[in-house]
Structure 1
Amino acid sequence: MTEREILRIRRFVVKLGEAMHAYGTPSHRLERLLSEVSQSFGLEGSFLVSPTWFSVVLQEPGQEQEYSHISRVKPGGIDLNRLSLTHELVAAVLAGRLEVEDGLVQLGTIRGAPDPYPLWLGFLCWGGVSAGFALLCGSGLMDMLASMTGGWLVFGLEWLAARHPRFEEMLEPLSALLLALLGTGLVALGLPLNVPVVVLSGIIAFIPGLSMTMGLRELAARELLSGTARIMDALMTLFKLYFGAVFGLALGGLLWGGSNRLPLTASLPLLLEGGAVLLLALSLLVMFRVRPRDAFWGLLCGLVAYGGARLGNALFGADLGGLVGALLVGLYANSYARIKNTPTNIVLLPGIVLLVPGSKVYVGLNSLVSGQDMLANAASGAQVFLSFMAIVAGLMFANLILPPRRYL
């Protein structure tokens, strides 16, 4: 193999890795995928991927000369549409249906591809996620409507931050602060609202429960650098959200009086709870940019997660109930990935998000700092950690019973 060919392959591997990282691929799966791609070209590869670091070393077997690449990357979001398209591109390259040079061109085309859903639908779904979560908290109609409005406000801020990078670092605390001001202002006008729950529901899209689950999963896979970095980033996001909300509540109290803490419903009627879960699942499909042809199966995965969690709660209690839900979701996602030859995450993530107790971490942080429970029966730190680990264990058992065909 000539040096020119190796450099071309290295460029493809680097661009592929950076693209998959940007679309939300976990580090341990991305490293294994890149190793598979390198071996298919007859090269040995060594990779180190973290939320902010991407390192590649390639060499021919038996040769001492190495071809390396190191780059600084930003923590990736979740874009399941582009992830699916990139996975299809990788399959075509590995099967020999697509040349490396053409693959490089298509990677750029995929990065610039339009979103599968219009902006107005994304706007509606940000409000839908907040409204659905408010219902699951046991709040009333006014709280749900205020939460939906808060979700739309946060969507506008997120849209602004995407176009003006100077707002990016302040996006989370600014969102929580403005929602707290909005909630206390509405209470001052006479509306009966539970302001802390409205704030939490409005910023629920920023609560990093999925990131914490991915971090723990990476730690379980011995990806210590990436897992630790991801968890610390998630914790910092939580702190920014919490203290933005605290400052907003204090400022709102100073401007127009204190906030309300109305009682919440302990349990919802089954039909209303199912409707809230359905609203959440549908909204998440749009927020994660799941392709329309995969949307039904992603929605079904969310319902599997909901049913599995209820079954697990009945069998083992709330702390370990997520294990059953994650096991069923993992088996479902791996089966779908095998049948459709797609990444497991395409249907896995919309289901897992309904299981992760990210909001409980926020609520527990509020209880620790303020001494007040935002929600009834707020879980302790140990219970939240056990819930996270139950989900991670369920996913690991699912991969043991029915591993995905490919590392993604």
Structure 2
Amino acid sequence: MSAVAAARPSAPDPDPASAPIDDLTAFLVRLTGLLLRSSGEGAHLIGVAVTDSARGLGGDASLLLVPEAATLTVVAADGRTRTETVHGFPEVFRLDRVAALKPLLADVRAGRADVAEAGRRLARIERAPAPYPWWLTFLGIVLFSLGFAPLMQPTWYEVGTTAALASIAAALAVAADRVPRLARVLPLVVSTTVSIVTLGFFAGDPAHGGPVLLMLPALFFFVPGDYLSAAAAELAAGLVTTGAIRLVYAVFLLVQLCVGVLLGVYVTGTSTRALFDVAAASDLPRWALFLAWTVFTAGTVLAFAVPLRFFWPVLLLVYVTVGVQSLATGLVGEVAGTFFAAVVLAAAATVLSRGAGRPPRLILVLPGFFTLTVGSLGMRGLTTLAGGYVVEGFTDLLNMLVIVTAIAVGMVVGATLVPESGPRRAAASPGTRSAA
């Protein structure tokens, strides 16, 4: 759809090398769509990327953003204006595209690529196949879950159970890439299947821990802890509309997973009273607990299509985040420890992402979101409530709200202490508007 904007941004000075309005609009529409589809961790930087790219091509642009759509207004050097509506469902599953976009955007902003070259490079990014075959994605989801297993219960039984359950979840996730109808209900199908198998084969002995603790690592790939943290960070940064919508969607995903667990309870004839966290006695050595984060990082790289060259900086930031959280929690408590870990994560990710050849900040921040594990608290709280344990359930949910707020505020503080380098910051972008 094209129309004349009611309120036009000021037109830039004419430049004979500037892109014509049609070419400029086509490129910015495709760029906005790809950024929206890659914005599961937040849409707040889309406006900066699009408007900086427009100015690098001799035009101007403004955006009205919500998480799954944007109204884009483009102004060419000759003053002509176009307005387009762009849609894109926010996800984080193809981070190779995020990595490929970073040098392209740097060249466009610096004037090293005209609109024709930029369009060709963007088309190659969109058409590029996933960097890893399906079986490596399958392996990545399994490793991702195994890395979290000791966090739920540091036992060999938890690790072995997770290997079996995560293989089922990974098989369904890989199948959903080829069956769009399955993708629409994937969280419900995965949680129901994992619940039935857990209750039917692995949760017979209370000494091995509660059934939800056995299920959670296999479901962690689908638990929206990162969405919850991103939503809270957007709210803390003043992006009320994008943050609120993302928060509602994250809560919906949590409830959908909880419903799947309850369906498994009903199918197997298990009492809902079994949905109570009973932790098993630890029997894992310390080296296994330390190694688990390396396994998790390898899983993240494969499951989310992160280029292999970024493995080591991602691994470094994972251990830094875990180390700061563990140390600070021991000194000042869980909430403060999570806050300081989020500050360090945001600041360190900004520093490590500087430079066109460095990993994008999203790739560095994403594993840290997962290590702070806010999503599991929401899942445990909902299932505990469903089991009839009201006090314990609401306690978990309250802890989730407090910790997700600590993560969000910590990320904002870290970003404030170490701002991103670049020609303009979001606060200094008069042509960029959010829906907040």
Task: State TM-score, norm by structure 1.
Answer: 0.90
Question: How do 1:9-408 and structure 2 match up within 5 A?
Answer: 9-24=24-39, 26-60=42-76, 63=79, 66-187=81-202, 193=208, 194-253=210-269, 263-265=279-281, 270-339=286-355, 340-372=357-389, 379-406=395-422
Deviation, structure 1 residue 342: 4.5
Contact 1:187–1:259, Cα closer than 8 Å, also in 2: no
Between stretches 303-312 and 378-387, larger displacement belongs to 378-387
Deviation, structure 1 residue 292: 1.3
1:168 partner SS: helix
Distance 1:327 1:188, change over 3 A: closer
Deviation, structure 1 residue 206: 0.5
Question: Following the alignment from structure 1 to structure 2, what is the Cα–Cα distance between the partners of residues 186 and 192?
Answer: 14
Amino acid at match of 1:131: L
2:8 matched to which residue of 1?
A: none
Question: Following the alignment from structure 1 to structure 2, what is the Cα–Cα distance between the partners of residues 320 and 268?
Answer: 27
Amino acid at match of 1:52: E
Amino acid at match of 1:365: L
Between stretches 264-273 and 24-33, larger displacement belongs to 264-273
Distance 1:254 1:314, change over 3 A: closer
1:163 partner SS: coil
Segments of 5+ residues of structure 1 without an aligned counterpart are none
Question: Following the alignment from structure 1 to structure 2, what is the Cα–Cα distance between the partners of residues 242 and 139?
Answer: 23
Contact 2:72–2:86, Cα closer than 8 Å, also in 1: no
Distance 1:187 1:304, change over 3 A: closer
Greater length-normalized contact order (CA 8 Å, ≥ 6 residues apart): 2
CA offset digits 1:48-77 (Å, max 9, x no partner): 2323212101225895x5310003322223
Distance 1:378 1:316, change over 3 A: farther
Deviation, structure 1 residue 190: 8.1
Contact 2:156–2:284, Cα closer than 8 Å, also in 1: no
Distance 1:397 1:188, change over 3 A: closer
Identity of aligned residues (%): 23
Question: Following the alignment from structure 1 to structure 2, what is the Cα–Cα distance between the partners of residues 326 and 242?
Answer: 27
Deviation, structure 1 residue 266: 6.8
Question: Following the alignment from structure 1 to structure 2, what is the Cα–Cα distance between the partners of residues 262 and 28?
Answer: 40
Distance 1:152 1:187, change over 3 A: closer
Contact 1:360–1:379, Cα closer than 8 Å, also in 2: no
Question: Following the alignment from structure 2 to structure 1, what is the Cα–Cα distance between the partners of residues 47 and 373?
Answer: 25
Question: Following the alignment from structure 2 to structure 1, what is the Cα–Cα distance between the partners of residues 211 and 144?
Answer: 17
Distance 1:33 1:145, change over 3 A: same
Question: Following the alignment from structure 1 to structure 2, what is the Cα–Cα distance between the partners of residues 186 and 373?
Answer: 27
Segments of 5+ residues of structure 2 without an aligned counterpart are 1-13, 427-436
Contact 1:366–1:372, Cα closer than 8 Å, also in 2: no
CA offset digits 1:327-364 (Å, max 9, x no partner): 11122111111254542112121222211411001111
Distance 1:16 1:260, change over 3 A: closer
| Root mean square deviation of aligned Cα | 2.9
User: Alignment length, in residue pairs?
Assistant: 404
Between stretches 170-179 and 32-41, larger displacement belongs to 32-41
Contact 2:61–2:74, Cα closer than 8 Å, also in 1: yes
Deviation, structure 1 residue 236: 0.6
Contact 1:172–1:206, Cα closer than 8 Å, also in 2: yes
CA offset digits 1:208-231 (Å, max 9, x no partner): 010011111112222222111111
2:419 partner SS: coil
Amino acid at match of 2:115: V
Between stretches 208-217 and 156-165, larger displacement belongs to 156-165
CA offset digits 1:259-298 (Å, max 9, x no partner): 9976423796543322222222221122222211111000
Distance 1:138 1:53, change over 3 A: same
Contact 1:253–1:259, Cα closer than 8 Å, also in 2: no
Contact 1:304–1:351, Cα closer than 8 Å, also in 2: no
Contact 1:366–1:373, Cα closer than 8 Å, also in 2: no
CA offset digits 1:354-404 (Å, max 9, x no partner): 114110011111223323499x99953332212111111221122112111
Distance 1:83 1:337, change over 3 A: same
Deviation, structure 1 residue 132: 2.5
Task: State TM-score, norm by structure 2.
Answer: 0.84
Amino acid at match of 1:241: L
Amino acid at match of 1:99: D
Contact 1:212–1:230, Cα closer than 8 Å, also in 2: yes
Deviation, structure 1 residue 38: 2.0
Question: Following the alignment from structure 2 to structure 1, what is the Cα–Cα distance between the partners of residues 405 and 197?
Answer: 36
Question: Following the alignment from structure 1 to structure 2, what is the Cα–Cα distance between the partners of residues 92 and 32?
Answer: 15
Question: Following the alignment from structure 2 to structure 1, what is the Cα–Cα distance between the partners of residues 395 and 163?
Answer: 25
Deviation, structure 1 residue 139: 4.8
